[in-house]
Structures are given as structure tokens and as C-alpha cells.
Structure 1
């Protein structure tokens, strides 16, 4: 169909597409419509329009034959830009090098590839605007779809545009990519008549009506149906031509093409079948790509009958439409398809993945050589981040294995990859398939453990299973390869970390000591950081830094694990670039995100919380929760909720924090997931502190670790240092607060982490028994280089020291500190602490004008509660006398203390003594 007639009735679409090219705000657009509706013609129209306005145009097209090849679509799209790759920084060059098979780097995540592609596109478009056009996007491989979605969401206000054509009515990866869409509807009756008349002006009237009725506005049908219907015997209609039963239009068009294919000579049909199975383009106008394709020869007969066209770039035959390609494959016999795959396997013998794919398709009986080729293809795909393809190829390799042991091993490996990636249903199925005839392989056991951990938070049974497997490997073969043992050890450490149970960690340490010489040093780093950083954290900074020297060769899981270690020692911000700079990106919506991607989002969330970037942290947390929920990764979903609960508490959103806290605790506590129950208690502590309920805060904090101690194997034991001391001071437990501060100093917390050093100096200042020590310790906290990296903690220390100065009549110095703390809290959005700092400032102003404090500064209820507290009653006892809840009592006292210019219950009696008697008021 010529371009002029093809665009009949498409004025609205042309206008929208012209606006897309001209708009600086729109970066990506999905063109969606049914088969044959004219999407490809519109894509070509936009390409011509962009070329005319100075754009460089790059084209790619999806193909069924390549739907399982990782990054096959991205190869097409980026191949013309490879000369610009050498201009990228080392990290992004290594990522794309792994994708294109140029180097043996680690398997990149979608986010890593997406960021590298964004930089590559920015370089390529620095001189000339760039338009990328992808046709048949429904057949783009999963990894390429994910990257294109990631990139497309970030092209606004850039010189790069992405236009994707996809078929409606079928689920595609772009459905959830969050890109703008333009629907291409069928033509109107009037436009359909114009198209039909332009091609068949002499068509018989009854055939014309029949074609218009059957085509239903689909241009391809308007062009292809008339010859078939015209050749039907007089008086016969569509039922005779296609068969009765309401056959869908694409099937009818396949019937049209099928009749033409059947009329070809056997040799030409063979050429077409080989081309179809090798993903030869179904579109003219595609730019040349690197990948080798079967070259159809001597096929003029197929071109003459409208099945093939000639690519103007290469001069080679290409399919006229994707339906032609699928019809050719559908009409071939199984033996014909296997013979074609055999030829194609030989053609691609230098491409490990394509070679193995065609070999497997040609195989019928078990064949160890083909199974080994598929295993190699799976390893290649996994290195490039194609876990789904690796699982599929290993599964097929198991089917072609010649013995039970090889079959079980390959199914176990496939299950392990699926489990680690969070493909839980697939992992469960593979584990079941691999254990039907015997004992499961170690990989299958690990896969089952992943499923149980991710899906239901099972830590106890999975811990026992892995201990047994590791001990069996140790006892059976002293020299067991690392690639078998290391993943089991790392998973055991992950499970032990989530459990945070002393007895489980002791068993983990014992078994790891017996295999220490068989596992890499990184696993020992994880062991020390995740178990008890206070007692095993010496030198972790240097060990992490040393491990990151080999960053380009690190497995992506190891990158996430090492960043987790960096977080434990307060140095995560230093390695932000190794999390692929995802903190700078908004609304992460990568398609098919894996478990490792969610772990990285959790780390970004923690780093954003520490740095005071709370709005970004909220977005990251919501995104991680969404991804975990969609993928059925229940453990990660509750972990996301736990982090969001702590964040909400810090921001003063107390009800939200407590709701999330209750959800996490009710799920994690029965399962013994100590890491999450500790986070829930931390959220409760911070929420109570935020609203001034110090008694509740103390109960939560002391539930994590007792004052004066730091319980072993509890990560939050040290993390809650400031919370526990602050709550203890405000509830009159000065002895406990001082004991805990000194315990932090004795335990060497300042040597473990910059954050812990800041907190230790802060609590020593808050609990100091004389002003000299308080000033010295506060100065050390204020001058610590980590202060700028932890603004929330530093502001809390300033607030506490300002209150102390005010209480000791250092109003001028106190004002500066309190004003600084208030400003920081307001900038962070910590409403509870900001109000407290403002109240302290108001107290200074009031006290400078009048003294003693007038009775009217306290309400009747506040004065009554203050008197009862001064007499030594607890909040619970006061509540029983006043018919109030202990929490309400605590809230009243929170407002009383700054009004009286005190910071603890111990000072209540003296402060109240300066007020008029309640009875005479």
C-alpha cells in the first residue's frame, strides 16, 4: 500500500504524532492498535517527519523468534550508537559491554542498563536530536522491554524520543511501563471506502460491500481480502471463503496468506520458513543491525505474490507483514521446522545463545551435546541479566539430558536462578520437577529456601535445611567448587540476618568456620557485618573498600550485599554510585524487576532517610512495596512497610507509622523474623518520641535492648542508642540513660561507624553530670565529619544541648542551637521535633520577659498531672487517678516540661515550687 493512500483517514493521528515530535516535554509514546490497522505506516510517517526536522532516526523491530533472547531488541536499537560507547564512563561502559558481549562483566540489572543507555543516548544526541522507532513491540524480549520502559520514562525535556508500536489485545511489557499512549482505531466507513476504491476501483458492488463489512476499517484487510473474495464462486460469501464460526480477522488474513504460501514451490517455502524462524524483519525501512540473519535467496516468486518485500537498506527480502511470517511457520510440518532449525544452528555456530536455541528446537531425543550448549547459553544469558531466559534454557537442557543426575542438576540450577530472582512460581515448579526421582540437588534446596523465605518469611526450617546441605557438602567433598557452596553460604547468612536470633547465628558461625577455606572473602565480610557489627565489625570499612576495588567484576547480588555492609558501618553514602545512581531517579517502574532490584531500592531508601531526603525516600519505599507486592515477594513487602513506618514516625505521621508498625509486627513476630520486629519497635519508639509520649518510647526502645547493654546479633540494639537515651531522660530515668551512654563508649561504638560515633558523643553530652563534660562531648559531636550526613540525628543532639544550656541560663547560646535545630527539623519535615524546638524558643522569649512563669502558662489539667508526677507517680498511676490513658498523661507532660524550663521529672518539684499554689489560683 503506497504511503499516500495508507494515511487516508489518519489526520488526527498525524496531528498527534507531529505534536509529539515537536513537544519538548514528551519523550516517549506507545502507538497501540490491532493487527493490520496501520501502525507501521504511521511509524514510518513519523520517521520521515523526524528526518525532515533534523532528527537522526534509528529503527528496531521485535520478532517472535527473538522473544526469549535477552537484550536482542536492545542490540538492534543501540548497534548504530556503539561508536559512542567508548565515550562513556567506566561503569556504564562495562555495563553495556556485558550486554553486548564485549566483556565478561557482572550481570547488569535493568536499572544499571537503563542508566547506561540514558547516558549513551545523551551522548549520541548531543549534536543531533534522536528518534528511536520500535515496531512490533509486543515481541520485544523482556529485558529489552524493561530497559526501554525505564529509559522512556526519563526522556522528557531531552533531545531523544522513543516511539513504540504494539499490538492491542495481547499483554505486553509496555502495558505497565507508564508511557503515554496513542490508540490507533480502525478507519471510518468513509475512509475505508477511499482506501478500497484507490486499490480496486473496478470491484464488483456486492464484493465491495462484503469487503467493507468484513474488514471493519482495518487497512490491511481492505487491501488483502478483495482478491480472495472475488475469486470465490458466484453466490458464495465469507463463510465459504473462510469457514463459518466467526473467525477473527487476523485468522482470516492468515488464510489469505496461507493460500499464497501453499502455492509456492517447496524450495521457496523452505527459504521463507528459515527466514521466519530466524526473525528476519517483517518490515521494510529497518536500519542494518549487527546480528546475522538468514538471507532468503531465489524468493522472487514469494515477492511477486505479495508475501515479501525488498529492504531498501540492504536489498534483501523481508516479510511484508508479521502475519506472513507467522503463517509460514504455522503451515510448516514439525519435520520441516526441525530441518530449518538445524540449518540455522549451523549459521549461528559462533553465537552461543542463538546456536543453542536452534539446536534445542531441532532436537527430539535426549542429547547431551545439545543440553550442554543450552547450559552454556543459560550462563551467557545470566551474565547479561537474562534470568528468565537462563531458566527457560536450563529447563530445556534438563529435558534433553541423557541421565537422571544431569537432569536433576540442571533443574536444580534453573530453580535456584528462578528462586534468587524472585520468580517464585517457576522456582516451585522446577523444584518439584527435579525431586520426583530422588534427593534434590543443593541448588534445588536453595531454591526451595528462597521461595519459602520470600513468599512466607520462613526462617527456621530454611536455616536448618541449608545447614544440613552445607555440612553434607563439607563432609562429602573437601574441595567442593565455590560455585556450589558459596550461594548456599550467602543464602544462609541472609536467613540468619532476617532471623536475628542468637542461637541460629551461633550455629551459622560454627558451620562457616568449618568451610571458611572453601568460600570467598566477601562471604566472610557479610558474616561479620550482618551478625554482630559491634563485636565483629573491626576493619569492615577497609574490607568493603577493598572488595569494591573489583566493582566491574562483582556479581550484582554482591554489589547489593556489600552496600548493605556499608550501611551497617555508616558508609553507604560513599557507595551511592554503585547502586547505579538510582536515588536520583523518580518513580522506579522497571518491568520485571527482580528480587535484587528491590533489595537495592531498600538500600537507597535507607540512604535517603539518613541523608534527610525524606520525600525521595517515601517514593522509593512506595515503589519497592509496589514491586514486592506485584511479584508476590511477601518478605520484601513487609520490609518495605517497616522502613516506611520508621520514616513516617520521623516525619511525625504517627497514625500512619503505628498502622504500618502493627502490620509488620503481626506478620513478622509469629515467624521469628527479628530484623522486622526490631524495625517495628524502632518505628514505635520514634513515633512515641515524635509526639512526646516518652513512656511509650522508653518501653519500645528498652524492648529492643536493655539500658546499659547492646544485645548480641540485634542490629537495632546500637541503632536505637539516641532513642533510648532520649526517652529515658524525659521519663526521669537519668541513671539508665547515663549507663547506656557509657556502655556505648565502652563498647567502642565510635570506632564502628561514623553515625554511631555521632550518636555516642551526643548521648554522652546529654547525660553528662557536669557542664564541662557536656560541652566537650557536644563539641565532638558537632565537629564530627559525619554530622552533615546524618542531619536528623545532629539536629536532635543540638536540641538536647540547647535545652540544657537554656536550663542553665545560657539563653544566648541556647537560642542559636535551638534555632538551628528548629530550622533543620522544619526542612526535613520532622513536625514533632520542629514543634518541640519552636516551643523551647518561645520559652526563652517568655522567660526573658517575665519570671517566675505565670500559672496561666499551664492548663488546669497540666498542673494537676505535673503535681502528681512530681510526687513520684508513674504515668500509669497518674492515668488511673485522672481517668486518662498513660499515653495522654505523657503527652501532657511533654507540653509541661518546656513551659517550666525543665527536661526531666527530677526537676518537676523545684519548678512547681516557683509557681503559685493550685488551690489559691
Structure 2
């Protein structure tokens, strides 16, 4: 190796270091990254390390987990212990650079890790694993392998072509290798090509051109007989690029010197990789048709074996009888395996570009047959091989799209469904597949593309089901338009319901359909109609929605009725649904992400969300990373609400700021203001009344003119809670009766039951004892204790606070505090204990009041509700307990959080901050939403003042 002393020293230190770490080599094509990877692999092998190699291939960049499979295959257990499939027929993984070896004994795979690896190995049953779950499984596998006394080096070449799903996992793993001794990840990517590793936040080492002296030495070593003029021309044109230094002289030697030199100079200004491709193209043009066909099939196929359920997975295409291509420097023979491989990825690109469309289609047909047992690979080749409509190919592409969606490739599924529509033989099938593509695009937050696909599904009309779906998503999430959107969806549902060819239009035998889903498009329209109705939050809208549901008969699924009952008015329609929601939640792994979020919303309304939260937390990163932004933000909202209910308020604040940043960045006006409403609720219970009212005002100003009752009700609830925290009970009462009148629960006002305790307390403190009692009795008579655990807790609390005699009060206080789910709602429980302590002290003396008052004070202190804690401590002092005020803990900013905050305060965007600090925009956003609660702020505009109040910065690392 000529030159590269610095790079060699760094790689040697990297490979031989005992600690786990990751490194990305970045440089232009031909600069020698692969040679440096070879050096690292050799050093590791000589040190006794296990080296696992993989290569990103452009043909596989759309296949979820294709690259990760190359890395995992050599490490997973053999024979029956392998999650699926066996070994390739030649006894090694089929990639361009084989793994050096594999462990002989099987790691102890748990059920979660086995399920995750099954998904990577292409098993069709089961959902895609989230990035975190799969990343943890990979980390555990690597750590176990290294713990057997043999360190592991993962070497990934051409990382710019790794599929996104694999790159996300590799980035997750790479960022967590510190502290895991014996495991290293080395990646090479092109500097002139966008890469999924651009935002991976891994350490990088730039690989630049050779110095002039080293470039001259390399050229003289390989081409010592060049004339002075040609030698100078090569050095000038190569610019220190090693591949160019090796290839340009051969090109000049192919013809008369002057003409070759003129040809070369004619390409001046063209990027160097393109000039090298022209050299390879000239060599290819001299080969025979049969050899070029073999090369084309090899170039269009991927690099990884694709194991399935059988013992012998199909390997990549193996080129035959191509020795002439080796002789002219286009191919090399892999040491040991004896297989042909492309000398450089630029050769592969040249082969594809030089072929005619007919030649490429012929090659794809051969490869489709080769991969006939593996739907996604076969789909790629069928789509490229077929010109005229062919229903069989379209159906295969549709099936592959469904598989890709389940495995985290929803964006790829949109492309496959669009291609399936192009190849459909009937107008009905074409429209259906475009509609499906529009729906998936809408779920992945590509609302503009969703609309264009929907219009293509039914040209000439804006009222096709697909067009209505796409437009309604856009109108609801971006603009918060509920009234007109509701009318339009109702009309579309009624047209589809009454259409004589509705069943034939959507196909009873469609893959993935079941007897409980007779019409998927209708089901999607109904689900969106229910969502619009929930956000409208008024009686007329919900009544019209329920009328439409009733006219659908058997076409309305149980899920539709579940959502329609629990989202609308749990007081009148929620009875009996809790158990069914919990049963449906037992099968979350088999459901689409948008179905999971809808079910979780029902669970929230019934206060049984906590069992679903671990799943939501596992998959939310996957949804956000794969572009399913709408589902991801809704999942963040649900996690926030559960954290708020459980008293995990610091975590809820971080979740809320993350959701707000995402919603604002994506232009989701509805989600952004919904997040502000939840943050306002959080500020209200914490006693930060100014912040709560500021957010409340912003939500009201946006939601009231649009008729988004769901948000205006939250705004009224925020006003009541903030006023209660401040001791302004008259204002609290006025806000509470804005939601519902005392003694009744306004129909379809979902906050009416949730603010029961607020209205009762405000009424009691303002001398309205009769109204408080009437409201508590109305809750009992409406059966609220049977609807949800939280409603049971606060109903018994309200009955106790308003009881007419001590016996009744004691009974209800006891029932509230002994409820099995009482501890899941610590804020409400502490309020009830505070009221209980006050009542007991007045009736039975100080000693009897100390226990409930102490419990209440401790909870308020722990939650961070200072106004409520102050009241509890005042009551404790009145009960003869010495005052105790816990010292607030100071949470300093980390160095990186402070630096990000300073740059943001200076007006830089997340992208600009990321470029300056070499972080991804998402990492910048994460640092900001961790810094905001530490600084006690909620907006970017408040950063400068907040930072000036922080006198001591954290020390730099």
C-alpha cells in the first residue's frame, strides 16, 4: 500500500483496541476505501478476531434488512437452531466478500431476539421488529460472540447502498458499542453520494486523495514505462485518486496517444468516477454478447443469500465463463471461493448503463426465475422485466408490497403498488392498487404523493374513495378542517355502500382480507370518519356518524363500533368495551401500526392504556424512522398521556416536546396544537399557570374557529386545573361548567367525565355544595365506576367529598383509596387523600389526619406539584407535623445539550446546528427536547433568556 501512513495507523489502533467502537470511512469512489477495509480485516484476522464482511449493493437498496442479513448470517446458529433457512450450497454466505468464519456453538437466543431475527431472515409470519428491539438483539448476539474469547469486527463496504432498515440498525448498534468490549463496526461510504449513514452520528475518518509524491510513486510502480507526456496527463487527471492512477494509463495505451489523450481531456470537468466508468464501458464494448449478458445478470442481482424455510437458500447469481472479463480487468476471482466478483462497484454500474432496455429486461426475467421462492426479490425483477400489463406480475408485486409494509418498508411498498397498478389488466384493479398506494403514502406522511396517487386512481374525479381518503387526511392533519371533511367522507361512505359493484371492486379474495373485513376501503373511510368526528367533538357530528354506521349493517366491523363508542362518549356508549379492548390488545404484533394506534386511543378513553404502552414505546422509533410520521406522532401522544396519568411528568414533558418538534417540522397543524394542549395540561397540574395559560390561549385561538371541539375541551380543562392549582376556585368553576353543567355529563364531550373531580372541588370551594353533590350523584347514577378504573377512583372521591354524613364519606374514601388501580393515577389519588385528611382533621382531630395528609404531601412532592404540595404541608402543620420542604434537585445541562441550545438561541435551524456539530437533525431535536424542561421553558424563543440564567456551563468532554 502506497502512502496512507496516517490511515493505516488509525485503523491499526481501531482494530487492536480492546474497547468496542465504530468508525465510518468516507471518500470518493476509487480513493481506496475497500483496500483500507481489506487491511483492517487482515489485521483483525491476524489478531485472532472473527471478521464478518458485507457489501451494500444498489440492486438491494430497497429490500428491508437485506444488508443486515449479510452481517447476521455468519453469526447465527447452524442447523435447526437457525431462525430460518440453512447455509448456501457452497457452505458460506453468498456475498461479494465472504465472511472469514462462524462460531461453532449456538448463542442462547431468547424469544424476542429469535422473533426479530426471523423477520430479518424473511419469514413472512410476524410483524417487522422495531429498530430498538432488533438493535438490542444484534448487540446481544455480538456481545455473546465476543464473550466466547474471540472479538468481532464487522466490516461493511459501500454503505451508501445499504437498505435503510439495515442502516438504522447498524447506526443503533454502532452508537452503543462503547462499553461492549470486543465488538467493532467499520463502514465505508462514498463522500459524493447520499448515504443512510449521513445521519447515523457515528465517528468518521475522511479518506482523501494521495499526496503528489505518493501518487507519483504508485503510478511508477504499476506503469513504469509511461512516457513523460502521458505520465503528466495521468497524474493531472487522476488528482491523487488511486483507482484512476491504475486505470487511466491502460485506457491511454488502447489507442494512438494523441487521440486517447484528447478523449481523456474531452471528459475534463466530468466527475472522476464518471470518467472511470467511461473507461470500463470501453472495455465492456469489446466483449462478446454472451459475456456481457452474464455480467449484466451478475450486476443486477444482489449480494446476499436469501434464506427461507428450506435447508438451502437461494444464493446470488453466479457468473460463468467470464474469464475474458477477468483478463481485461473488469472482474476478479475471490480468493479461496474461486467465484467471480466485480473488481469495483463502478464496473457494476457501467455494465448496467451500457445494456439496452431489452437486455436489462431479459436479465431481470432470468433473475426473477432464480428468486421465485422469495417474493420481494422476485417482485423487484418482475417489475423491471415486464412491459405490458400482466395480472400475475401485478398480484406478485402487491403481495410483496404487503410483506414490505410488515417489515418496515412502507415507502418501498408505495413504489411497488404503483408499479403493480401500471401492470394491472383491468381498470378496477389499477384503481384499487393506486388507492392502496395512496393510503400507504398517506400513512407514511407523504400526503402530497398520496393525493396525486388518489387522483390517478380515479382520473377526472375528486370524489373517488382513494381521493377522498387522501384529501381528508391532508385537510384534517394539516389544517384541522373537520366540518367539510366530515361531510365529504359521509358522502363517500354512502356512495361506496350503495355501489352495486362494491364487492367486486375490492375483491373478496384479496390477500390479507378476512371475513370480518368485507371491504377494506370502506373500513378505512369509516375509521377516518370516526377520527374526524372525535376531533369535532360535538353532538351533531357524532349523531350523523352513528347514523351512517347503523346503515352499514354487517359492513361495519366490530372495531368500527368499538371506536365509535369509546371515542365519542364513554358515559353513554363505553359500557362493556374495556374487556374487548384488552382482548384485542393481546394481538398487537399482528396488526398494522395505524390499527394499533386506533385501538390504543380506545384504551386511553377507557383508562386501560398502560398495558399497551410498552409496545408503543418499542415501535414508535420504527414508525418515525420509516416515515410513518402520523402513526408515530399519535403513538408519542399516547405515551405522553400514559406518562401524565402515571405521574411520570418529566418523561411526559420530554415526550411532548419531541412530538411538538416533529409535528411542527412536518407541518401538522392539528398534531402540533394537540401536543400543545397536552403540554398545557402538564403545566397546569405542575402549577406553572402562566405557561399553561399561554399554551391554552394558543390552542383555543387555533381550534375554536375551526370547530375542533376535542382541543377546545382540553383548553377548558386546562383552565380549570390551572385555576385550581393557583387556588382561584371561582375561575376553575367557570372553566369546568364550560365543559358540562353540574349534575349532568354533556353528550359527546369527552372531557365531561374526565374533569369530574375538578368541577366538584371548585364547586365545594365556592360554596356550591348542592351542585357539587348533584354532580357526584350524577356520576354514580351514570355508572362511571364501571366504565374505567380512573372514573371509579374519582367518582368515589367526589362522592366522599360531597357526602352528607361521616359514615358515607368514610366508606367512599376507603373505596377510592383501596381501588386496585388507584396507585396508577397518583395525582388524583393524592387529591382525594388531601381532601380526606382535611375532613378527618376537622371531625376526628389531628392525629387521625396525619396519615392521609402525609401520603398526599409525599406524592405531590414526588410529582413536582408545588402548589398542591404546599396545601398538603400546610394541613400537616395544622395537624402538628413539623414543616418539611424538599430541596429541588438541580439538573444541569450536559455540554452537548448546552452547545445545541446556544446555537438554537442564536437562530440556527436544527439542520444548521447538525452540520456545525456533525450531528443528525433528529439528534439535535432530541438534545433540545431534553434541554427545554431542564431550563424550565417550552419554546425556542425562550432559550436565550433561560441560558443567561444558567450561570455555570457543564464542562466540555
Q: Residue 251 of structure 2 aligns to a residue in which SS?
A: helix
Corresponding residue for residue 35 of structure 1 = 29
Matched, 1:677 2:712: yes
The Cα RMSD (Å) is 3.4
- Structure 1 residues 122 and 407: alpha-carbon distance in aligned structure 2, compared to 1, 3 A threshold: same
* Cα distance per residue 1:802-851 (max 9 Å; x no partner): 33344557333434433332322222222332333344445556999xxx
SS at match of 2:568: helix
1:144 to 158, 166, 175: 166
2:69 maps to 1:75: yes
Q: What secondary structure does 1:35 align onto?
A: coil
| TM-score, length-scaled by structure 1 | 0.83
Does structure 1 conserve the Cα–Cα contact (< 8 Å) formed by 2:29 and 2:190?
yes
Q: Is the 8 A contact 2:283 2:328 kept in 1?
A: yes
Deviation at 1:477, TM superposition (A): 4.9
| 1:763/1:232 CA distance change after superposition, 3 Å | farther
Change (3 A) 1:208 1:390: same
**CA contact 2:55–2:303 (8 Å) conserved in 1:** no
Q: Give the aligned partner of residue 65 of structure 1.
A: 59
- 336, 344, 355: which is aligned to 2:367? 344
In structure 2, which of residues 7, 10, 13 is the aligned counterpart of residue 10 of structure 1? 7
- Structure 2 residue 381 is the aligned partner of structure 1 residue 384: no
Structure 2: distance between partners of 1:205 and 1:491: 74
Give the CA deviation at 1:529.
Answer: 1.4
SS in 2 for 1:512: helix
2:693 corresponds to 1:658 = yes
* C-alpha distance 165-611 of structure 1, shift in aligned 2 (>3 A): farther
Aligned-partner Cα distance in 2 for 1:395–1:671: 35
SS of the counterpart of 1:515? helix
Answer yes or no: is the 8 Å Cα contact 1:795–1:821 preserved in 2: yes
2:123 paired residue among 80, 102, 127 = 102
Q: Is the 8 A contact 2:685 2:725 kept in 1?
A: yes
Sort the Cα spacing of 1:807 and 1:347 in 2 relative to 1 into closer, same or farther, 3 A: same
Q: Does 1:407 align with 2:442?
A: no
- CA shift for structure 1 position 703: 2.0
- Pairing 1:269-280 to 2, within 5 Å after superposition: 269-280=292-303
Corresponding residue for 2:592?
555
Provide the rounded CA distance (Å) in 2 between the counterparts of 1:484 and 1:313: 55
Provide Cα deviations, 1:2-32, integer angstroms capped at 9, x if missing partner.
xx4474441464267348x5335x4x54433
For residues 539 and 76 of structure 1, the distance between their equivalents in structure 2, rounded to whole angstroms, comes to 50
Check conservation: 2:12, 2:43, Cα contact below 8 A.
no
2:810 to 759, 775, 778: 775
Q: Is the 8 A contact 1:394 1:411 kept in 2?
A: yes
What is aligned with 1:902? none
Q: CA deviation at 1:204?
A: 4.8
Q: Kindly state the Cα deviation for residue 430 of structure 1 after the two structures are TM-superposed.
A: 0.7
Q: Does 1:298 align with 2:318?
A: no
Does structure 2 conserve the Cα–Cα contact (< 8 Å) formed by 1:274 and 1:341? yes
Q: How does 1:791-870 map to 2 (within 5 A)?
A: 791-807=826-842, 810-842=845-877
Q: How many residues align?
A: 835
Q: Identify if the C-alpha distance between structure 1 residues 85 and 465 changes in structure 2 by more than 3 Å, giving closer, same or farther.
A: farther
Match of 1:494 among 498, 516, 531: 531
Q: Provide the rounded CA distance (Å) in 2 between the counterparts of 1:626 and 1:5.
A: 49
- The 8 Å contact of residues 145 and 174 in structure 1, kept in 2 or not, is answered as yes
Q: 1:721 to 1:478 in 2, by over 3 A?
A: farther
* Pair 1:429–1:476, CA change in 2 (3 A): closer
1:51 Cα deviation from its structure 2 partner: 4.8
Cross-structure match for 2:549: 512
CA distance in 2 between partners of 1:462 and 1:378 (Å): 29
User: Using the alignment, how far apart are the partners of 1:280 and 1:673 within structure 2?
Assistant: 52
2:390 is equivalent to residue 355 of structure 1: no
Q: Write the deviation string for residues 879-900 of structure 1: whole angstroms up to 9, x where unpaired.
A: xxxxxxxxxxxxxxxxxxxxxx
Q: Are the counterparts in 1 of residues 267 and 275 from structure 2 also a CA contact under 8 Å?
A: no
CA distance in 1, matches of 2:206, 2:670: 38
Consecutive unaligned residues of structure 1, counting only runs of 5 or more, are: 283-287, 849-921
For 2:801 and 2:44, the matched residues in 1 are separated by 66
2:568 aligned residue: 531
1:574 matched residue in structure 2: 611
Q: Secondary structure of the equivalent of 1:22?
A: coil
Is 2:742 the partner of 1:719? no
- Aligned residue for 2:607, secondary structure, equals coil
Is the aligned partner of 1:416 residue 2:439? yes
Equivalent residue number for residue 371 of structure 1: 394
Partners of 1:207 and 1:230 within 8 A in 2: no
| Contact 2:680–2:691 (8 Å) recurs in 1 | yes
| Residues 135 and 172, structure 2, Cα contact 8 Å, conserved in 1 | yes
Aligned partners of 1:130, 1:691: CA distance in 2, in Å? 59
Q: Which position in structure 2 is the counterpart of 1:458?
A: 481
The 1:281–1:761 alpha-carbon spacing in structure 2 relative to 1, beyond 3 Å, is closer
Judged with a 3 Å threshold, the aligned counterparts in structure 2 of structure 1 residues 502 and 589 are, in CA distance, closer, same or farther, namely: closer
- Once residues 174 and 56 of structure 1 are traced to their aligned partners in structure 2, the CA distance between those partners, rounded to angstroms, is 24
SS class of match (1:58): strand
Alignment pair present for 1:22 and 2:18:
yes
3-state SS, counterpart of residue 617 of structure 1: helix
CA contact (8 A) 1:479 1:518 kept: no
1:39-438 to structure 2, matched below 5 A, reads 39-51=33-45, 55-83=49-77, 90=111, 93-94=114-115, 96-106=117-127, 110=131, 127=148, 130-158=152-180, 161-200=184-223, 204=227, 207-229=230-252, 240-243=263-266, 246-280=269-303, 290=313, 292-312=315-335, 314-437=337-460
What is the CA distance between 1:715 and its match in structure 2? 2.0
Separation in 1 of the partners of 2:749 and 2:205?
A: 53
CA distance in 1, matches of 2:541, 2:699: 22
Q: Distance in 2 between matches of 1:157 and 1:685?
A: 49
* SS state at 2:25 partner: strand
Shift of 1:317: 1.3
Check the 8 A contact 1:532/1:712 in 2, yes or no: yes
Query: Within 2, Cα distance between the matches of 1:634 and 1:121?
Result: 43
Compared CA separation, residues 411 and 837, structure 1 to 2 (3 A):
same
Structure 1 residue 609: Cα displacement: 1.8
Label 1:175 to 1:234 Cα distance change in 2 as closer, same or farther (>3 A): closer
Change (3 A) 1:831 1:193: farther
TM-score (norm 2): 0.80
Q: Which whole-Å CA distance do the structure 1 matches of 2:55 and 2:141 have between them? A: 20
User: Aligned in 2, Cα 1:139/1:758: closer, same or farther, shift over 3 Å?
Assistant: same
Aligned mates of 2:848, 2:226 — CA distance in 1: 96
Once the two structures are superposed, the pairs formed by residues 514-663 of structure 1 within 5 Å of their partners are 514-579=551-616, 581=618, 590-663=625-698
- Aligned mates of 1:177, 1:588 — CA distance in 2: 17
Instruction: Report the Cα distance in structure 2 between the residues aligned to 1:115 and 1:691, rounded to whole angstroms.
Output: 45
Q: Matched residues in 1 for 2:127 and 2:684: separation?
A: 38
Distance in 2 (alpha carbons) for counterparts of 1:535 and 1:94: 41
SS in 2 for 1:247: coil
Shift in Å, 1:493: 1.9
- Are the aligned partners of 1:582 and 1:604 in contact in 2 as well (CA < 8 Å)? no
Unaligned runs of 5+ in 2: 84-107, 306-310, 504-517, 884-957
> Helix, strand or coil: the match of 1:785?
coil
- Whole-angstrom distance in 2 between the partners of 1:813 and 1:313: 84
Give yes or no for contact 1:271–1:296 (8 Å, CA) kept in 2: yes
What is the deviation of 1:325?
1.0
Aligned residue in 2 for 1:892 = none
- Whichever of the two has the greater Rg, that structure is 1
Q: Indicate how the Cα distance of structure 1 residues 582 and 484 shifts in structure 2: closer, same or farther if over 3 A, else same.
A: closer
